[in-house]
């Protein structure tokens, strides 16, 4: 039987591959669409995602978290959750359908009526696959999920690009999302052996909701926190400004979601089995924080350093206002791995009450951001967001660290040397962007210099996490080469 480490590494490898390949497809699709469509089109999509994001949290209601954590789930538990998800998704779709004219009037964008009514179909479609996804996650079976993600991204991307070339504008973005989710759900049903029974247990519902209601409320607060910027910018600024923000957010999310997403998805089911072994759990958490921070923080600083030539080369000069927004977002999300892993400690411990309390504290701290954004603009908003994010991470670490005897000071000691080395390596790369050079030449110089400095500094310091990542990568490459040579 494979060890926990083996299962986790294997699961992360497939999940990471899934994220990289799927995001690669979406990235290429996004670059093509950004060159065809206008910032206004992406701005309208940004408004819609606010309502879709909030609705998605309601549909799951924290039930999937409980099902993943519970070791002895019954068919009754799964079926109860399945039908609850469908009922809620249909209710929310009807709600958005009815109120779409009011939303359109609020943002003064007539196109939103049809766009919201069409895009909201993803809520019903996605609800049909939530339990199938839970089964894959519980088994740490991310290989088949990778195939599902890649095929659905390709299908959605094909539809989106084709419609954009035919002149459908923002509708190409909406139909891309609906197609992708539709193919995703169909493939989950084909590859999953689980089928619902016509059962709805009051006892199962009470057990699920007893844990899930706090996850629901904390999830709503998190979703509100993540999407409030889209809402505020959509209301008080032009769709073009929201479009610039949306594109910057998508570039930033490529790093955060490709690394942080797999870590979070694998971490919770893998480490839930250690919830009663403090010593092993703490050691596993420490190693995960250091490795994920090394990768994510370095990539985010790298992205911030090369943002100017990168955006110009990939999506064109019309998107250059996104550069400063992307750079500030990268700094604001540097400590994402620390934050999300500490949150998973609370989930593993079953402390949904603390998760809710933390999310309430966080949303209260983000209110000044909103006020500053309304009165002073996007750049001051994002600068303030950097400081509030650091404070929120500190608060989160304080709660979860006390449960695991993993203090804030220990966490800082674990990640600060990594942050310092990455910053020293990439600061000269960023300073190059102030030279009056051709952007293609600048991009080439920045790539070469960053690779040289990062390799030199980390080779010199020999961080244990760097050495481990290097060894794992070498083994993975050797295995891949060996398979191809057969």
Q: Kindly list the domain boundaries of the chain, sorted by start residue.
A: 1-239, 275-486
Record the tokens describing residue 431, joined without a space.
């300073």
Record the tokens describing residue 341, joined without a space.
């892993």
Residue 169 neighbours by CB under 8 Å, 6+ apart? 37, 38, 41
Running DSSP on this structure, what letter comes out for residue 256?
A: I
In 3D space, the residue among 66, 28, 215, 51 whose CA is nearest the CA of residue 122 turns out to be 51
- Alpha-carbon distance 58 to 352, whole Å? 16
Running DSSP on this structure, what letter comes out for residue 277?
A: -
Give residue 338's pLDDT: 85
Give residue 1's pLDDT: 47
Which residue is listed with tokens 């449960």? 403
Residue 118 neighbours by CB under 8 Å, 6+ apart? 171, 174, 175, 178
Residue 411 neighbours by CB under 8 Å, 6+ apart? 289, 338, 342, 397, 401
Give residue 141's pLDDT: 67
The beta-strand segments (E) located in 396-463 are: none
In 3D space, the residue among 160, 165, 154, 155 whose CA is nearest the CA of residue 119 turns out to be 160
Q: Answer positive or negative: Cα dihedral of 206, 207, 209, 211.
A: positive
- Alpha-carbon distance 38 to 21, whole Å? 26
- Alpha-carbon distance 447 to 253, whole Å? 20
If one counts every other C-beta atom within 10 angstroms of the C-beta of residue 1, the result is 4
Query: pLDDT digits over 96-150, tens only?
Result: 999 999 999 999 899 999 999 999 999 999 989 888 888 787 776 677 888 888 9
In 3D space, the residue among 219, 249, 223 whose CA is nearest the CA of residue 381 turns out to be 249
Q: Is 474 exposed, middle or buried (0-12, 13-18, 19+ CB in 10 A)?
A: exposed
- Alpha-carbon distance 341 to 348, whole Å? 10
The ranges of the chain with pLDDT < 50 are: 1
Query: pLDDT digits over 155-171, tens only?
Result: 999 999 999 999 999 99
In 3D space, the residue among 125, 182, 98, 140 whose CA is nearest the CA of residue 9 turns out to be 140
- Alpha-carbon distance 387 to 113, whole Å? 37
């Amino acid at each position: 039987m494979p060890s926990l480490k083996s299962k986790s590494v294997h699961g992360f490898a497939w999940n990471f591959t899934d994220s990289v390949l799927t995001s690669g497809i979406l990235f290429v699709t996004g670059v093509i669409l950004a060159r065809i469509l206008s910032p206004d089109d992406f701005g309208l999509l940004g408004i819609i995602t606010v309502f879709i994001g909030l609705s998605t949290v309601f549909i799951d209601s924290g039930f999937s978290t409980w099902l993943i954590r519970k070791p002895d789930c019954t068919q009754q538990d799964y079926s109860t959750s399945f039908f609850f998800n469908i009922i809620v998704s249909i209710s929310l779709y009807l709600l958005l359908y009815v109120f779409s004219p009011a939303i359109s009037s609020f943002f003064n964008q007539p196109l939103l009526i049809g766009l919201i009514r069409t895009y909201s179909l993803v809520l019903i479609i996605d609800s049909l696959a939530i339990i199938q996804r839970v089964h894959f996650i519980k088994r740490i079976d991310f290989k088949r999920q990778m195939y599902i993600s890649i095929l659905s991204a390709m299908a959605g991307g094909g539809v989106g690009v084709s419609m954009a070339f035919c002149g459908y504008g923002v509708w190409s973005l909406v139909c891309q999302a609906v197609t992708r989710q539709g193919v995703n759900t169909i493939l989950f049903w084909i590859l999953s052996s689980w089928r619902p029974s016509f059962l709805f247990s009051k006892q199962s519902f009470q057990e699920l909701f007893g844990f899930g209601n706090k996850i629901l409320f904390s999830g709503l607060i998190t979703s509100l926190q993540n999407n409030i910027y889209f809402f505020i910018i959509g209301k008080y600024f032009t769709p073009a400004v929201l479009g610039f923000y949306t594109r910057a957010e998508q570039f930033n999310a490529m790093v955060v979601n490709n690394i942080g997403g797999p870590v979070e998805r694998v971490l919770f089911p893998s480490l839930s089995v250690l919830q009663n072994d403090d010593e092993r759990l703490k050691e596993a958490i420490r190693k995960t924080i250091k490795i994920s921070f090394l990768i994510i923080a370095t990539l985010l600083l790298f992205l911030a350093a090369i943002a100017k030539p990168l955006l110009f080369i990939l999506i064109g000069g019309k998107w250059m206002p996104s550069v400063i927004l992307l750079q500030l977002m990268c700094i604001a999300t540097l400590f994402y791995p620390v934050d999300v892993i500490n949150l998973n400690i609370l989930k593993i411990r079953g402390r949904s009450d603390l998760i809710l309390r933390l999310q309430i504290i966080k949303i209260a701290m983000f209110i000044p951001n909103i006020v500053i954004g309304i009165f002073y603009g996007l750049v001051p908003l994002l600068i303030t967001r950097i400081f509030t994010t650091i404070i929120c991470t500190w608060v989160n670490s304080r709660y979860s660290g006390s449960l695991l005897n993993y203090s804030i000071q220990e966490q800082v000691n674990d990640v600060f040397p990594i942050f310092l080395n990455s910053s020293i390596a990439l600061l000269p790369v960023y300073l190059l962007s102030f030279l009056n050079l051709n952007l293609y030449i600048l991009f080439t110089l920045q790539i070469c210099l960053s690779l040289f400095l990062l390799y030199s500094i980390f080779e010199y310091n020999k961080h244990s996490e760097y050495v481990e990542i290097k060894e794992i990568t070498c083994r993975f490459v050797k295995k891949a080469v060996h398979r191809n040579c057969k």
